[in-house]
Amino acid sequence: MKYRILDGKETMDIQDIIRLLKSTYWASQRSDEQIEKSVLNSSCYGVYLEDEEKLVGFGRVISDYATTYYLCDVVIDTEYQHNGLGTALVSYIESLPEYAGLRGILITRDAHSLYRRFGYEVLDGRVMVRNLNC
| Predicted local confidence at residue 134, as pLDDT | 42
Residue boundaries of the structural domains of the chain: 3-98
Handedness of CA 51, 52, 57, 62 (dihedral sign): positive
- What pLDDT digit, counting tens, does each position of 51-83 carry? 889 999 999 999 999 999 999 999 999 999 999
* Three-state SS at 7: strand
Q: Taking the mean position of all CA atoms in its chain, how far away is CA 72? A: 5
Does 3-98 carry CATH code 3.40.630.30? Answer: yes
pTM over 0.75? The answer is yes
Binning pLDDT at 50, 70 and 90, where does residue 98 land?
very high
